[in-house]
Amino acid sequence: MIMITKKQGGSVHGVVASCARRAHPHGGFTLVETLVAITIIAIAMTGPFFAVQQALNASRTARDQLIASSLAQEGIEYVRAVRDTNYLSGRSWLAGFDGTAGELSASANCFTADCVVDPAKRTARTTITPLYISESGTNALYNQQQAGMQTPFTRKVRIANVSGRPHEAVVTVTVTWTSRGQTQTVTVRETLNNWL
């Protein structure tokens, strides 16, 4: 804005106001000023939106990792529970997981192939299928029964003998899922002992 001053009879009068009125006769903004303001606001808002998106992605990843860790630990705990029940029933300590009948209503040989376990149905089988989640009231239960909604998680159990130690077995549970196009994996291993 140009300021023009004029001296009249010893007094100075600003002509700025009259120039401004002539440049913007209705007192509004020009189209260029409006576009510049919108661009500045858009650039200023992009950073926070990006940060929120990254936080949401990190939250989803953490949630999935927590669920996968819990599902893997549940697989270990189930093998341990079957071992304990076999002990109390006088059966071989890993019956049901070694291809022989035992505590499980359906058994598989988890020593020679990956298998899935379903604590709700008390089964072990070698057909690998995704886990399902069924909601009952306030509880949400994961299962292999294809009841409820299919989840992205797959849980595999593998049992291996420890060389030179016939009363020990290593149980490995692997949970996999796909998140944003990438396969994620959580693996939990534990050594179980035959306490007999």
- CB distance 141 to 131 below 8 Å: no
CA distance 140 to 123: 19
For the cut 90, the answer to whether the pLDDT of residue 138 exceeds it is: no
**Stated pTM of the model:** 0.73
- 68-78 per-position pLDDT tens digit: 999 999 999 99
- 105-135 per-position pLDDT tens digit: 777 889 999 999 888 788 888 888 899 998 7
Supply the pLDDT for residue 7. Answer: 55
CA distance 29 to 49: 28
CA distance 185 to 183: 7
CB neighbours of residue 121 within 10 Å: 15
CA distance 138 to 135: 7
CA distance 6 to 40: 38
- CB distance 157 to 117 below 8 Å: yes
